Amino acid sequence: MLKINFKDNQILPAVGRDLFLAGFVLLVIFSFLELFKPRIVTNYLNLDIFLFFLLLLGAVAIMHQRQEKKKIKKLNFLDYSTICLFSVLVGILIFYLTRTTGFFSFLIGLAGVVICYFFIRETMEY
């Protein structure tokens, strides 16, 4: 029988992070499907609401990540440049997906950049 210990608060942040990453991959797949065949996903799913819940889940996961890990790898300039470039590309994708919401799409894209930056940096440092 599998026992899960919820007292040490390790399982819930890990599940939240994994759900965010899986949701982000789905968002990218849905975006490319919409580019090649319009309205194939948006007929069944509102991508704006999906993106809102995805960013909310990412923000909660960042706030509850464990701080006890020791840094094993020190990142150099090339690593930080790659992280920043990928984060900006994610922000542009999010901005493109939510462009119909006006100025709010800029704020959502900026939030996506910040969340993506922290997730990738955390993954590369440990």
pLDDT tens digits, one per residue of 48-87:
889 889 888 888 887 776 555 555 678 889 999 999 999 9
Count of domains forming the chain: 1
Q: How far is CA 27 from CA 1, 8, 53, 73, 75, in A?
A: 35, 31, 11, 30, 28
6 domain residue, yes or no: no
**pTM score, two decimals?**
0.68
- The residue range of the domain holding 31 is 11-125
Helix, strand counts (H, E) of the chain: 4, 0
3 domain residue, yes or no: no
